[in-house]
Structure 1
Amino acid sequence: MSLDSIIKRGHPIVFGLMIFFSFAEMIQTAVLVGSYNRNDDYPSSLLKGSTRFLLFTSLWTLFFGIAYIVGVVRSSSSFLFSIASHGAWLALTWLFWLAGSAAVTDGFRKLGNCGARGLGHCSQLQSAEAFGWINWILSTIALAAIVVVGARSARSGNGFGGALNA
């Protein structure tokens, strides 16, 4: 199987998974943020900020992930959907997921065992943390693939502004 056919099959699969898990993250964090705002009972200021940031990151990934899937299918030769564009977006998205997931993880570490403390929404916070790390793993895979494709494209003399293919 050639790298080009792997990209054509893999791009919608990886981006589809990112969209799916971002949607799940969006639902989890939107419910958490709504409940915490309504009751004004955030467990800590760190979890307040990181939960809101994960909500933003999930919406960011959902919106741009759909745009990239549609764009690659409809206009793969456009610079908007080029290797460089994918690389820049994925690098920023990777950083967002890393920061948000690490902040939630740190918030849990500082709280201790939230289940034993009777903390409300403990399992929802844990699933938001898990979905965040899943999205970070998926964005890591996608970013690594774009780096490989970009390196091959640059070596062949096509640069990074070309279409997303081998």
Structure 2
Amino acid sequence: MPSMNSVVRKGHPVAFGALALFALIELSIAAWITAKYNSKHNSPGSSVTVRVRYILFMSVWTIVFGGLYLVGFIVAGAGSMFTSVASHFFFLFLTWILWLAAAAAITQTLGGALNCHTQTYFVYCGQLNALEGFAWLIVVMVTLMLLFVLIRGIQSARRGDGFAGGLVEA
């Protein structure tokens, strides 16, 4: 059975890479909808426009900072800020709060999921449904990553390293 350190060394890049990939997909959808709303002036209301732009911002946030943690973890050693439990926890907790707000806001605006065959109020119905779905997917991913970091933090504290200890033992 592989050690927890080897699981973290292999799993971290996969998890953060998947997070960046789904944030890139979300970025593409949100940017497309924003461009359409801006060029055609056909947004159903300012609340939809603002929430789509917020998701656009969150996508950029996740790609930039998630990418930094991905590269930093691969390049940096075991004693680096990019490998510490506290740093990961802070980033993931803040990102979780912001994505939860984004997903909840777009869900509230759309009233759950849109039935594109019966509704006529929202233009770009399929894209808005995809935007909502990927937002919730990212929330689930960040939640699982946050729980894993919390577990590693408890293990680090029990080792005597505290929460400043690394996700991977030196």
* 8 Å Cα contact 1:19/1:61 also seen in 2: yes
How far apart are residue 61 of structure 1 and its match? 0.5
Coordinate RMSD, CA, aligned? 1.7
* 8 Å Cα contact 1:57/1:96 also seen in 2: yes
1:120 to 120, 123, 131: 123
Specify the alignment match of 1:16 in structure 2. Answer: 17
Q: Does residue 88 in structure 1 map to residue 93 in structure 2?
A: no
Map residues 1-166 of structure 1 onto 2, 5 A cutoff. 1-76=2-77, 77-109=79-111, 113=115, 115-118=117-120, 119-165=122-168
Q: Give me the TM-score of the superposition, normalised by structure 2.
A: 0.90
Partners in 2 of 1:29 and 1:72 — Cα distance? 28
* 8 Å Cα contact 1:46/1:104 also seen in 2: no
Note the alpha carbon deviations across 1:91-118, whole angstroms, 9 max, x for none.
Answer: 0111111110111111111896454233
Note the alpha carbon deviations across 1:26-61, whole angstroms, 9 max, x for none.
Answer: 000001111112222222332222111111111101
* 8 Å Cα contact 1:115/1:122 also seen in 2: no
Where do 5+ consecutive residues of structure 2 fail to align? none
Partners in 1 of 2:166 and 2:46 — Cα distance? 43
Where do 5+ consecutive residues of structure 1 fail to align? none
Percent identity, please.
36
Note the alpha carbon deviations across 1:118-166, whole angstroms, 9 max, x for none.
Answer: 3310000110111111111110111001000011101111011122215
Paired residue total: 166
Q: Which has the higher contact order (CA 8 A, sep 6+)?
A: 1
Partners in 2 of 1:111 and 1:10 — Cα distance? 32
Letter in 2 for 1:95: I
Residues 111 and 161 (structure 1), Cα distance of their counterparts in 2 relative to 1, 3 Å cut:
closer
Matched residue SS, 2:164: coil
Partners in 1 of 2:162 and 2:31 — Cα distance? 40
Residues 110 and 41 (structure 1), Cα distance of their counterparts in 2 relative to 1, 3 Å cut:
farther
Matched residue SS, 1:163: coil
Matched residue SS, 2:44: coil
